[in-house]
Amino acid sequence: MDEELLDRYADLIVGFGANVQPDQVVAVEASVEAAPLVRKLARRAYERGARYVDIVYFDPQVKRIRIESAPDDSLEWVPPWLGRRMLDLGELDAARIVLTPFVPPGLLEGLDAVRAGRDQLPTVRELFKVLDDRSVAWTVSPFPTEAWASRVFPELGPAQAVDALWRDLEHVCRLDEPDPVDAWKQRIDEIWQNASRLDELDLDALRFVGPGTDLTVGLLPSSRFAKEGGGATTRTGIHHVPNLPTEELFTTPDPDRTEGVVTSTKPLDVGGSLVTGLRVRFDRGRAVEIDADSNVETLRRRCATDEGAARLGEVALVDGESRIGRLGRTFFNTLLDENSASHIALGDAYSSPIADPADLPRINESEIHVDFMIGSDEVTVSGVTHDGGEVPVLVGGAWQI
Amino acid sequence: MDEELLDRYADLIVGFGANVQPDQVVAVEASVEAAPLVRKLARRAYERGARYVDIVYFDPQVKRIRIESAPDDSLEWVPPWLGRRMLDLGELDAARIVLTPFVPPGLLEGLDAVRAGRDQLPTVRELFKVLDDRSVAWTVSPFPTEAWASRVFPELGPAQAVDALWRDLEHVCRLDEPDPVDAWKQRIDEIWQNASRLDELDLDALRFVGPGTDLTVGLLPSSRFAKEGGGATTRTGIHHVPNLPTEELFTTPDPDRTEGVVTSTKPLDVGGSLVTGLRVRFDRGRAVEIDADSNVETLRRRCATDEGAARLGEVALVDGESRIGRLGRTFFNTLLDENSASHIALGDAYSSPIADPADLPRINESEIHVDFMIGSDEVTVSGVTHDGGEVPVLVGGAWQI
């Protein structure tokens, strides 16, 4: 492993992504394989004065073993201490660093989809309360595990695949820039400028038109893109960057006003099961038909979790300048793939993009949040104004605003 | 890694050590390196019907990083969720499997002993409540990590050292027997027979005499050896084996009546710091002088944790038939070394060896429990009767009772 690259990466994640503060408690959650980077993160966090760094190593192989072997009626059981830890992190106004993926793409292949859908760990429902409270300064970044890299580069041996994925990650995380933090500040400012221009249009809806797609996503009166353009701020005023890399601008839509059909432009990994060829029809905000070429049952079960699980909690636009999109690769990983193309998410909504508290009771609530990619150079995005007119927003990946 | 050996080991630990029951929650705590065995343990536990297997991977390198880099006033801070998890395991009458060592011998060498002493994780104080309640069916077994093996076999390369340590462990864990469970049942029965004979003597104290040692350890009126001879039983009646391997018979002494001087017969690892040449003088139960050739400050700080930390919570006898003792090796690991020779422990006492509840308020309480070895073939153990007479107990490693 390239120690110097790990050091630069840890600097970026701790110093800019999570923006760790003196006396702050810092949670780090990662796959066992990510230990070399986790140790660098711990050292950087302590050097910045962290009170305590709480490492949780997740073992995806034990998740697979559970789904294979545990008694049927036990699979939904969640130990109470996992949820309370998450709430405690909120009460402590902690930082939280996640290295993705916990579960490599395809890990759950060959398993019973119904059983797989019952075990939603390591996600705990308390996470969504903490996100809504904006108490935790969180950041998610990728770490190339062998199983993941072998999926992205099936033609290479495991070690070569990991090397190739590191090279991609170094580029898309802008670690190949002389000053990665400065490079990110510039890119995030660009995203914010575009988001502000979009907000000025005061749109009523976004419309996506392309092969297999004609979807209109209604917005709430105070849905804003620029409030969260690339960065975020906790309730105590700590700036953090939830996703590194980040290339998207997003908002919270009206959960009752999505209409039409949409075809996913990338395969989607749902907790270890790969959903390909996904097609969804929405009626008055609800996903009423869900079809796919593989693993459709996993997603259908996920969408039956609760009332909000079949409605939208997010709509996001990604332009053609995205370093991830320009690589033209499918990473089988939501963090990277969602920052390569415009996307929507089923399930829980963020409250932060909503400008008027009067709109907050209307945003979507759920125990799930599943992003899927619907954008490409062939998909045109336009804005629907309150008088019913349409203005071009993204054509061939280029901003029209 | 020898998959077949790992399978047999997992069978022994899950089926006999922890004796996992249907619908039981099972905690597994281990070093990151132990993942191959941890996964076997998880599968065996689920196959026996466990409701959930909670894996906690401890990273000793992050512990070292904390002691090196964290702010001075933060080192005693313990996240509340760790203690609550332990209490929850008790409320759930869970099983708990620990793979030792969490912290390899010598890990903390070169660090400030005062700072090292402040970070007692992964031990949490709530553990002692759970032990006292006899709510959790716990078992501790060794896993040969590279850092540990390299300390035991410094003349070998890391991979060879791990192989050599595996061979020792296979032998002392009786995995080289055709039926390891049956072999353990026999050995535990032998220990129980010896403990019962010792109880029949109705002793007032044990006396250890050898090079640098003349120590009398007073017993409580109802201190018994046979109640916990090799095995244990939870409050709900689950038999489990707290230590595998186990070669000791032990009881809870009177914390006010230890007198004399004792010289340790093996080096002692205290949370990663090696204490050699340890000599302790006791006066009316209290360790009033603690000296050593190395790292004495680490132990002195540990013994200043609370009032009970300088008094005895355990006295244990190990005979010359111990497979560990017969190897004649120092393992720099308490589980193995304490089962190679007679020993005493500073700190918290077990309530289970006490026959009369009236004696329970007198047993020692502390947040620490530090075993150290005081037996060898050169140390004679005799029993002191209530009329002040002495009867031989162990001479040259052989029982005299």
**A65 to B46: CB separation less than 8 angstroms, yes or no:** yes
**A53 to B32: CB separation less than 8 angstroms, yes or no:** no
Residue A46 CA to residue A227 CA, distance in Å, equals: 31
CB-CB contact of B204 with B218 (8 Å): yes
Helix (H) or strand (E) holding A67: helix A60-69
Q: A159 vs A145, A148, A150, A272, B271, CA distance in Å?
A: 10, 12, 9, 21, 36
Residue B68 CA to residue B61 CA, distance in Å, equals: 11
pLDDT at position B230: 67
In A195-338, DSSP assigns E strands to 205-210, 213-219, 232-233, 239-240, 248-251, 253-263, 268-270, 273-275, 279-283, 286-291, 312-318
B230 vs B356, residue with greater confidence = B356
The 10 Å Cβ neighbour count of residue A388 is 8
Confidence of residue B228 (pLDDT cuts 50, 70, 90): low
Lowest mean pLDDT among A317-321, B14-18, B77-81, B311-315: A317-321
**A57 to B52: CB separation less than 8 angstroms, yes or no:** no
Distance from CA of B390 to the nearest CA of A (A): 52
pLDDT digits (tens, 9 = 90+) for B102-117: 999 888 888 988 898 8
Of B46, B47, B57, the CB nearest to A32: B57
Helix (H) or strand (E) holding A166: helix A158-172
Residue in B with minimal Cα distance to A41? B62
Residue in A with minimal Cα distance to B48? A70
**B79 to A25: CB separation less than 8 angstroms, yes or no:** yes
Residue in A with minimal Cα distance to B24? A74
Residue B255 CA to residue A142 CA, distance in Å, equals: 54
pLDDT digits (tens, 9 = 90+) for B325-345: 999 899 999 899 999 999 999
Q: Which two tokens stand for residue A16?
A: 């800019």
Report whether the peptide linkage leading into residue A245 is cis, meaning its omega lies within 30 degrees of zero.
yes
Residue in A with minimal Cα distance to B32? A32
pLDDT at position B56: 98
**A81 to B81: CB separation less than 8 angstroms, yes or no:** yes
**A57 to B57: CB separation less than 8 angstroms, yes or no:** yes
Contacts of A387 (CB under 8 A, 6+ apart): none
**B81 to A79: CB separation less than 8 angstroms, yes or no:** no
- Partners of A378 in beta bridges: none
pLDDT at B360 over 70: yes
pLDDT at position B191: 92
DSSP B360: G
Residue B228 CA to residue B242 CA, distance in Å, equals: 10
Q: What is the identity of the amino acid at B178? A: P
Its pTM stands at 0.90
Distance from CA of B90 to the nearest CA of A (A): 13
Candidates A141, A198, A148; CA nearest to A172 is: A141
pLDDT at position A340: 94
**B66 to A55: CB separation less than 8 angstroms, yes or no:** no
Angle between helices A3-11 and A35-47 (to 10 degrees): 50
**Residue-averaged pLDDT of chain A:** 94
Q: Which residues of A are less than 8 Å from B22 in CB distance?
A: 71
Q: What is the identity of the amino acid at A286? A: R
Residue in B with minimal Cα distance to A34? B32
pLDDT at position B39: 98
Of A42, A69, A84, the CB nearest to B62: A42
CB-CB contact of B118 with B68 (8 Å): no
Instruction: Average pLDDT across each block of 10 residues of chain A; the chain has 401 residues. List them in order.
Output: 93 98 98 96 98 98 97 96 98 98 88 88 92 94 96 96 98 97 95 94 97 98 82 93 95 97 92 89 97 93 94 96 92 92 95 92 93 94 96 95 90
Residue B178 CA to residue B369 CA, distance in Å, equals: 35
pLDDT at B384 over 70: yes
Residue B121 CA to residue B401 CA, distance in Å, equals: 41
**A59 to B39: CB separation less than 8 angstroms, yes or no:** yes
pLDDT at B67 over 90: yes
pLDDT at B71 over 90: yes
The domain made up of B3-172 has a fold known as: Thermophilic metalloprotease-like (3.40.1830)
B271 vs B7, residue with greater confidence = B7
Candidates B131, B165, B213; CA nearest to B329 is: B165
pLDDT digits (tens, 9 = 90+) for B198-208: 999 999 999 99
**Residue-averaged pLDDT of chain B:** 94
Percent of chain B clearing pLDDT 90 (strictly above): 87
Percent of chain B clearing pLDDT 70 (strictly above): 99
Distance from CA of A162 to the nearest CA of B (A): 20
Give DSSP secondary structure letters for B267-318.
Answer: -EEETTEEEBS-EEEEETTEEEEEE-SB-HHHHHHHHTSSGGGGSEEEEEEE
Distance from CA of A89 to the nearest CA of B (A): 9
Structural domain spans, chain A: 3-172, 195-399
Candidates B191, B85, B209; CA nearest to B136 is: B85
Q: Which residues of A are less than 8 Å from B70 in CB distance?
A: 46, 50-52
pLDDT at B25 over 70: yes
Q: Which residues of A are less than 8 Å from B54 in CB distance?
A: 79
Of B25, B59, B77, the CB nearest to A52: B77
Q: What angle do CA A143, A149, A150 make, to 5 degrees?
A: 155
pLDDT at position B26: 98
pLDDT digits (tens, 9 = 90+) for B47-66: 999 999 999 999 999 999 99
Confidence of residue B226 (pLDDT cuts 50, 70, 90): confident
Quote the ipTM score: 0.88
